[in-house]
Structure 1
């Protein structure tokens, strides 16, 4: 998925998080991806 977004001009930022490390009593792994256009990423 990262390659697909990169090929069309986006800079993907991916994070794997698990709720058990933030005080929740359940094991809930999550994958979060935020994609920013490369031209806008340079301005940040």
Structure 2
């Protein structure tokens, strides 16, 4: 079973994840990327998301 049933169409949707530098935010952002969703990582510390 996929992480998502069908909420995203990776061909047309993009996810924005705030707090993606570490912890739960990073795990969510990485899971979205793993499912093929275009994902924007955002965090107050730019070094953590590079």
Which bin holds the TM-score, normalised by the shorter protein? Answer: under 0.3
Larger relative helix fraction: 1
Larger relative strand fraction: 1
Per the normalisation by structure 1, the TM-score is 0.28
Per the normalisation by structure 2, the TM-score is 0.25
| Structure number with bigger Rg | 1
